[in-house]
Amino acid sequence: MLISNKLHTVKDRIQVKIKKLTFIDLFAGCGGLSEGFLQSENFEALAHVEWEMPMISTLRNRLVERWCHSEEDALKRVIHFDIQKTSELINGKWDNETLNSYSSTNHKLIQEKGLRGLIGNQKVNLIIGGPPCQAYSIAGRAQDKNSMKDDYRNYLFESFVKVVAEFEPEVFVFENVPGLLSAMPGSKPVTERIYEAFNEIGYEIRKPDLLKKSVYTASELGVPQKRNRVIIIGVKKSTKISLEELYGELDRLKKNIKTKNVHDAIGHLPKFRPLKKQKKVNGKNISHELVEVGSLKFHDARFHNERDVVIFKNWLKNKMNDSSSQNKIAFYNDLMKKNSNHAKYRNLEWDKPSPTIVAHLYKDGLMFIHPDINQARSITVKEAALLQSFPDDFEFIGSQGFAFKMIGNAVPPEMAKNIASAISQKLKAK
């Protein structure tokens, strides 16, 4: 009996020791941000909210296959919903329109009791998320005749604020593109709107004129990619957690991280070669074949016509990446008999981090030419995922196009993991 009691005491101590911090993930996508926080082994997820179904299916599958959730629990925790209906998201009691839109894709508990019913009395330590960035991106504004000033996505941060106000976490992490710093919908900088909104509910973030200090490059945080993002950390004023100490811990951590390049990420993958004669298999056009026998999931060369294959070889042979912008534009215009003002091609380079992996990859891969001239192709889904630091066993549910889209829109998991590690150090110390 004495031995049994001693063992029970040790077990209790272990359980107390490994108790994890909790988070809710908003605008979760396919789960890049969640993946990083879970990988840190310091956090457990209470809920994830997303509105695109392929991303929902991918995240639910990941929770089951990697993070040991039951299918029912994954259905309950990964919520398919439009976050703009914030009150219904939090409280449930969906109206008929909402039920018709989402009831078949969600657990009944969420329909009836919402996030509040799912969370119950559990403490929420952290809320994370990155509202869609297209309305804040400089490229997006340049292509819209009204600079996206009327785009509803400019104001999705308000839903993030409402969820923070409801669950009162000690800290939140709000990720977005650097274009956020210059976005001005409704004749007022969005950074001012964000600062005022969080200040009003009792949270401190860096003031708008200091947010430039909050821009981090993914390659500084373990990702083989030059991807700049604004990381807005907020702290609840009443907790007395130092905002600058959180940033300081992240800055300290990044000093010890080795930069990775394209070769580190994808140099080991099976190689392809262009077919001498392109063919069609089961109704699908095929332009490349594997050099080696066998195949790898998500590592399928997308189809490129014979003209593109020749263009890729010439681009790499002439080292066009090193040319002037004018020459790059001329390369495209001369070949295609066009009059574009933008370069259309770019190749990855083995000894450097990748440029930003973007959702546009679902349309074409012309700006992501593989660095091996003998392969003469753009990157595969597997290569895009590894350059985003997704684990090798991560599965994407849906078409090839949707896989590229969800990868491009995701927060790189390794970047998220390091942010999680920095934050957990200070929260645990508290």
- Tens digits of per-residue pLDDT, 244-283? 999 999 999 999 999 999 999 999 999 999 999 999 999 9
**Mean pLDDT (whole number) for 289-313:** 94
Q: What is the mean pLDDT of the chain?
A: 91
Q: Per residue in 345-362, pLDDT tens? A: 999 999 999 999 999 999
User: Residues with Cβ < 8 Å from 102, sequence gap 6 or more?
Assistant: 80, 81, 94, 111
How does pLDDT run across 118-135, given as a tens digit for each residue? 999 999 999 999 887 555
Q: How far apart are CA 364 and CA 404, in angstroms?
A: 10
Give the dihedral sign, CA 386/389/392/397. Answer: negative
**For residue 102, which of 49, 138, 143 has the smallest C-alpha distance?**
49
pLDDT at 292: 87
Nearest to 29 by CA among 63, 52, 7, 1: 52
pLDDT of 58: 98
Task: State the alpha helices, DSSP H only, in 270-380.
Answer: 306-317, 325-336
Q: Which amino acid, 248?
A: G
As a whole-number percent, the residues of the chain with pLDDT over 90 amount to 81
Domain extent listing, the chain: 19-261+412-429, 270-379
CATH class of segment(s) 19-261+412-429? alpha beta
| pTM, entire model | 0.91
d(CA 40, CA 97): 39
φ, ψ of residue 23 in degrees (nearest 5): -145, 160
Residues 376-415 pLDDT 10s: 999 999 999 999 999 999 999 999 999 999 999 999 999 9
The pLDDT assigned to 147 comes to 46
CA angle, corner 278, sides to 274 and 283, nearest 5? 125
Q: What is the pLDDT of residues 28-86, one digit of tens each?
A: 999 999 999 999 999 999 999 999 999 999 999 999 999 999 999 999 999 999 999 99
